[in-house]
């Protein structure tokens, strides 16, 4: 048994959970999130293992380091068991880091090099790792990669149609939201169908085809910017658009990056918000907001249908992620377009989020399941901690004898 602190960093947020992990059981003790980091007044909230609120406070959180210090203070105040290892969600490990691993100096160097593949996510994650090393200096840290679940995708899905010289440098389809997909496969357990499609819909969104428990294709590409329309990310674009903008509008790499990662997607289409809830409020009187919602659902439905072609049909479609789990109207909108692949939604079940939300006549079943990325991080960190502990013990013994 071990206690694991799981961390999931965003650009201005830090999710955390303390888990007790055994070989066949992962139990969450507490979880929470620090939000609005670096934005004046931050929001820090914590809940117990049943979801009951334990603490909510508004106070300055000027940096990720301040958030980590607050988490460390919280664990002491609540007399929680001290963590024995820390697991991090890492979006991209580049071409050399495709499997979850203990973080060493050499791994940290590879992560620094991989930051170019996910500049929206990686710098923050790297800063969190370094701050944890300062606040929890004795604890081993583990990197859990979103790309690992997709590491064995077949060449037909992972190879990009570019010259070999570029592909050999690591330019390929990696896929993301892997920890979320792992958690869905784990929750399905014995009920895992042969042909599964996972629609992880949130501010970042992707669709993944899973055959016999293995990823065979996914909508995101070399970076988390590709695939379906997202909150502020464009999703797939004609590459000629970027050439045009560079040549005719003199946009450099930084400007293009900001455009496709921070100013596009739902925000770019609507000019209102990246948040579907705000768009729905605006939609009755705002045609651009309505268009943004329609395009998001259309984009997701097209990718789900494409994954049906990759799998030769779908036995089960799972919605997960913040939007996928909580927005019944979006699920209905998407599923309306999927009758050709056998999806027939039960409206009442969809809005009360019953176990299966399809009619009995539906040949493709649909479920809503929570994304449990942090529990997956805890499991992987525990497994690697078990592996590294005997090595550390032997090294300490050898040092003592000499």
Say yes or no to pLDDT of 327 above 90.
yes
Superfamily of domain 2-145+373-401: ATPase, nucleotide binding domain (3.30.420.40)
Say yes or no to pLDDT of 31 above 70.
yes
| Percent of the chain whose predicted confidence (pLDDT) is above 70 | 97
Say yes or no to pLDDT of 192 above 50.
yes
Band the pLDDT of 392: cuts 50, 70, 90: low
Region of 152 (left: φ > 0; alpha: ψ -120 to 50; beta: rest) is alpha
Alpha carbon distance 216, 159 (integer Å): 12
Is residue 102 within 8 A of residue 142, CB to CB? The reply is yes
Which CATH architecture fits 189-368?
Answer: 2-Layer Sandwich (3.30)
Could you write out the three-class secondary structure of 2-39?
Answer: EEEEEEEECCCCEEEEEEEEECCEEEEEEEEEEECCCC
Q: Which residues pair with 190 in a beta bridge?
A: none
> pLDDT, tens digit, for every residue of 93-116?
999 999 999 999 999 999 999 999
Say yes or no to pLDDT of 40 above 90.
no
Q: Which residues are catalytic?
A: 146
303 exposed, middle or buried (CB, 10 Å; 0-12, 13-18, 19+)?
buried
> pLDDT, tens digit, for every residue of 46-97?
999 999 999 999 988 999 999 999 999 999 999 999 999 999 999 999 999 9
For the entire predicted model, the pTM comes to 0.93
Alpha carbon distance 133, 145 (integer Å): 19
Domain span(s) for CATH 3.30.420.40 in the chain:
2-145+373-401, 189-368
Q: Which of 224, 179, 247 is nearest to 15 (CA)?
A: 179
């Amino acid at each position: 048994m071990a206690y694991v602190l799981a961390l999931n960093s965003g650009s201005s947020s830090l999710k955390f959970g303390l888990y007790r992990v055994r070989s066949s059981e992962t139990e969450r003790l507490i979880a929470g999130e620090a939000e609005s980091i670096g934005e004046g007044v931050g929001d820090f909230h914590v809940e117990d293992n049943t979801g009951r609120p334990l603490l909510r406070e508004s106070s300055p959180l000027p940096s990720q380091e301040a958030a980590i210090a607050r988490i460390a203070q919280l664990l002491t105040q609540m007399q929680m068991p001290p963590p024995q290892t820390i697991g991090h969600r890492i979006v991209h490990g580049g071409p050399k880091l495709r499997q979850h691993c203990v973080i060493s100096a050499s791994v940290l160097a590879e992560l620094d090099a991989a930051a170019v593949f996910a500049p929206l996510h990686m710098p923050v994650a790297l800063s969190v790792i370094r701050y944890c090393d300062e606040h929890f200096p004795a604890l081993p840290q583990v990197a859990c990669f979103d790309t690992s679940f997709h590491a064995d995708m077949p060449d037909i899905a992972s190879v990009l149609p570019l010259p070999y010289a570029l592909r050999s440098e690591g330019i390929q389809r990696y896929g993301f939201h892997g920890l979320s997909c792992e958690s869905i496969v784990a929750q399905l357990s014995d009920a895992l169908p042969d042909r599964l499609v996972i629609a992880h819909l949130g501010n970042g969104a992707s669709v993944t085809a899973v055959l016999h428990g293995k990823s065979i294709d996914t909508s995101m590409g070399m970076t988390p910017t590709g695939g379906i329309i997202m909150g502020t990310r464009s999703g797939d674009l004609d590459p000629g658009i970027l050439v045009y903008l560079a040549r005719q509008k003199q946009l450099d790499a930084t400007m293009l990056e900001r455009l496709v990662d921070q100013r596009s997607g739902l925000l770019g289409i609507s000019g209102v918000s990246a948040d579907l809830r705000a768009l729905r409020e605006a939609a009755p009187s705002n045609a651009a907001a309505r268009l943004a919602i329609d395009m998001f659902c259309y984009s997701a439905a097209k990718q789900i249908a494409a994954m049906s072609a990759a799998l030769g049909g779908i036995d089960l479609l799972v919605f997960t992620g913040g939007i996928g789990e909580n927005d019944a109207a979006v699920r209905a909108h998407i599923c309306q377009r999927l009758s050709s692949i056998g999806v027939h939604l039960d409206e009442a079940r969809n809005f009360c989020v019953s176990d299966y939300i399809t009619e009995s006549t539906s040949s493709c079943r649909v479920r809503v399941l929570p994304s449990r990325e942090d529990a997956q991080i805890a499991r992987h960190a525990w497994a690697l901690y078990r592996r590294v502990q005997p090595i550390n013990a032997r090294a300490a013994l050898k040092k003592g004898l000499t």
